Structures are given as structure tokens and as C-alpha cells.
Amino acid sequence: MVDRLTIVMPIFDRMTQLDFTGPHQFLSRIPNAKVLAASVNAEPVTADGLTFGSLEDLEAIDRCDILCVPGGSGCFAAIENGRYMDEIRRLAGSSRYVTSVCSGSLILGAAGLLRGKRAACHWAFRDMLPLFGAIPDDARVVRDGRIITGGGVTAGIDFALVMIAELAGREVAEAVQLNLEYAPEPPFGSGRPETAAPGIRDAVFARIAAAAPDGQAIVERAAADLMAAVVATVQ
């Protein structure tokens, strides 16, 4: 049994829903932990055709033990949403662990939380991390101090098991894994860009880029703002 843990997942429109629902399913099975799904103004969040309601108001949450930020093509709009980013920075300030899944690490980066840190990201967006001073790592789960990040989408499940072992011990993690029958057998081997057929890889990359046409510009702008803030602090 672990002490009562509060895990906050700040969600947003056009996230990739499985970035959120995958880890949520696993983390919510930790005995004595509560996982809060939260949004700005407690507004319902729509993602991949699903609508998530009954959310917590992000600004009303005091503090948390684990902050876990999902990704998806909506992450760029989230980066440009000042109220959302203020809460990411505020909650990260007091959180024992600051974590993300998929391109959620770009949000952490834009919040100034990844400078000099190794971090994971969805493979198609990993090259953007250095703009925020982060060191991209292609591992499925990457730990650098209190920053723990997962790779793209389904990596959020591996990430969650690593988190559960860290928070509640390996036996609890193994019990949750068995409960959710996580003994994956992918029928194909194309889950990484290195193992996918080049034609498929290029087509998927093009489709992902087209879903977030302003992503690169937003990240560059956020990186410039971050640099300006750092310079202002130093002066």
C-alpha cells in the first residue's frame, strides 16, 4: 500500500486519446491513488471522436504527486494556450514526478521543464525537442531525475508500468499488468520507424505532419519565448 497519491492528467482537445486513456487505465489501478483528468475550465475534451466529460478544473487543483501530460496533434494549440501552460508550470513546480506520453514532452519542453534533460517523444516529433534544450532519446520510457517521459501513444502503457513500479513497487505493477492482461503480441513489426517499410514510414510521417501544419512554427515561437524568458531572468 502506498500513501494516497494524486496523479493529474491535464487534457486538451485533439489530444491522441490513447495517450491519456492508456496510462489512465493502468495508473487508476494503483491502490490508494486517484487519477484526476482535468481541463481548463473543466470543459469537456474531444479527441479522436470521443468526448470526455465530468473533468476537474485544472486551475482548481492544488497540487499533485505526479503530473502526466498526453500528446497528440492538439499539443501545439495547448502550447499556445497561456492558461493551460500556466497550470502545467504551476503543478510541475510542486510535483514529485513530471511526466508525459507521446508529444506531451513538447508541452513540458515549452513550459521550460526539459532544459538539459533527456526525454522521449513520438518518433515523428522527436526532432523538435532540442529546440527546448532537451536531449531526444528514442527509448520507450526515458527517466532523467524526476522527469519520466514515454514515447509515442502506446508507449504510455509501458511508461505507466514503470511509474507504478516506482510509486508502489514491482509487485503492484505486475498485478496491474496481469489484471489488464498486458502480454502484447503485435501481429506486425512496424511499430517503429526503423522497422516499418520505408514507403509506409514516409506516408505516415506526411500524414502526421499534415495534421499539424503549424506545429513547427508554434514550437519555434515557443522556444524563442522560452529563450527570451531565460535571458530576462539572467539579466
Q: Which of 181, 210, 232, 235 binds its own copies (CB under 8 A)?
A: 181
Confirm or reject binding of residue 8 to its own copies (CB under 8 A).
no
For residue 137, give every residue at least 6 positions away whose Cβ sits within 8 Å of its Cβ, in sequence order, or none. Answer: 118, 119, 120
Segment lying near its own copies (by CB under 8 A), choices 52-60, 81-89, 111-119, 222-230: 52-60
Give the neighbor-by-neighbor strand order of the sheet with 33-39. Answer: 56-57, 33-39, 5-10, 66-69, 97-100, 147-150, 141-144
Q: Is 121 a catalytic residue?
A: no
Is residue 157 a contact point for its own copies (CB under 8 A)? yes
The one catalytic residue in 68, 75, 102, 121 is 102
Instruction: State the SS3 of 128-147.
Output: HHHHHCCEECCCCEEEECCE
Q: Which of 127, 169, 203, 214 binds its own copies (CB under 8 A)?
A: 203
CB under 8 A: which stretch of 73-81, 85-93, 172-180, 220-228 binds its own copies? 172-180
The distance of closest approach from Cβ of residue 35 to its own copies in the complex, given in angstroms and rounded to an integer, is 6
The reply on whether position 220 binds its own copies by CB under 8 A is no
Give pairs for 116-122: CB < 8 Å, separation 24+: 117/144, 117/145, 117/147, 118/142, 118/144, 119/144, 119/147, 119/149, 120/149, 120/150, 120/151, 120/155, 121/71, 121/149, 121/151, 121/152, 122/71, 122/151, 122/152, 122/153
Could you say whether residue 125 binds its own copies (CB under 8 A)?
A: no
The reply to whether 204 sits near its own copies by the rule CB under 8 A is yes
Q: Which residues here bind its own copies, judged by CB under 8 A?
A: 16-18, 21-22, 24-25, 28, 34-35, 37, 44, 46, 48-54, 102, 122-123, 140-141, 151-155, 157-158, 161-162, 165, 170-171, 173-175, 177-193, 195-197, 200-201, 203-204, 207-208
- The residues that are catalytic are 102
